[in-house]
Amino acid sequence: MPDKSSLVVRAGKYTIGWILLAAFFGSQSLLVYPSPAPPNAPPQLAYFAASFSDWITWAFLTPFIIPIARRFPLGREHWGRTVAIHVCAALVFAVLKLTIRWGIGQLLPAIPTADQLSRILTAQLHLSVATYFVIAGTVMAGDYYRRFRERELRATQLEARLAVA
């Protein structure tokens, strides 16, 4: 088990990474929406907050996606079942994320949000499903790379032992 200081460092990197990603996509709204805003339109900062909250919601959901990605990695064995599991999980997490985001918009009226949950689901479901797969794929790629490095290290150690023998 990792020591406490390494967990704090990892949590810090995780938090900073998601904040930077949220700020990156939030900054796009500052470029897209006009300033000053037309009458009766939310200010630019509201669009930034909307985009920022989209990505921060994923930051809170990711710790629940990671174990699924690790438990059901894509591979040669049982790939059909694994894909089906991830499609179902992607739909569940997408609906959950969009419901949370819609709720945030209802609680904070300054953040632009569709007035009906069905509208936000229709508008953003596909992107949210794709985001799930990016998160799960990143976890699987990281795990695959870690296993590759471990095998490489073992092979190097074995070569060194054989050279000495």
Measure the CA–CA gap between 96 and 102, rounded to whole angstroms: 10
User: In angstroms, how far is CA 90 from the centroid of its own chain?
Assistant: 11
Question: What per-residue confidence (pLDDT) applies to 116?
Answer: 84
pLDDT beyond 90 at 56: yes
First to last CA, the chain: 34
pLDDT digits (tens, 9 = 90+) for 112-126: 777 788 888 998 999
- The residue with greater pLDDT, 159 or 135, is 135
Query: Of 148 and 34, which is predicted with more confidence?
Result: 148
Q: Which residue has the tokens 């990695």?
A: 73
Show the DSSP H helices in 33-116 as ranges: 44-71, 79-107
Dump pLDDT digits (tens) for 124-149: 999 999 999 999 999 999 999 998 88
Q: Is 54 exposed, middle or buried (0-12, 13-18, 19+ CB in 10 A)?
A: buried
DSSP assigned state of 60: H
- Please state whether the peptide bond connecting residue 63 to the residue before it is cis, i.e. omega within 30 degrees of 0: no
Q: Region 65-69: what's the mean pLDDT?
A: 97
Q: How confident is the model at residue 76 (pLDDT cuts 50, 70, 90)?
A: confident
Residue 10, pLDDT above cutoff 80:
yes
Mean pLDDT of all residues in the chain? 88
Question: Which residue has better confidence, 69 or 35?
Answer: 69
**Tokens 């406490």 identify what position?**
4
Rounded Cα–Cα distance for residues 89 and 69 (Å):
10
